[in-house]
Amino acid sequence: MPRIALFPGSFDPVTVGHVDIVKRSAPLFEKIVIGVGINSTKQTMFSLEQRIKWLQETFADLPKVEVHSYEGLTVDFCKKCNAQYILRGLRTSTDFQFEKAIAQMNQLLQNEIETVFILSSPQYSPVSSTIVRDIIRHGGDVKQFLPSTVIPKL
């Protein structure tokens, strides 16, 4: 059975940190599905269509990466796309505490799905979509935080 990982998130917008996690994880899996979660209670800055397009363009050179949107429980989407792993990046100890709780709940819901944590590269630890959105809102320069596929579209 091929090793398939789901990398879930809102990717609002996709950052260089996301790119780093996917590229460093690619050798571990036969396929990585980037799942753009739809959360009706969350206000996004960029449309679902735009985020999917950015991700597809960003990972166009990696044929093992697919991009899909999903709604509902992440473990249910894992089953739908045959993913046995959930891929998560960790930047800080706060991320770890939050992600650990989610991973343990996912394990209780679907014990055959394992969460794999990849530590962010040090230069990307401070980069988060939330902070990047705030910089964008205030007219700051975000070029160093975004992949080149996203920058011209802002």
Q: What is the pLDDT at residue 98?
A: 96
pTM equals 0.96
Contact predicate 8/21, CB 8 Å: no
**Complete DSSP assignment for 43-104:** PPSS-HHHHHHHHHHHTTT-TTEEEEEEES-HHHHHHHTT--EEEEEE-SHHHHHHHHHHHH
Residues lower than pLDDT 50 in the chain: none
Active site residues: 18, 42, 91, 129
Q: What is the pLDDT at residue 154?
A: 64
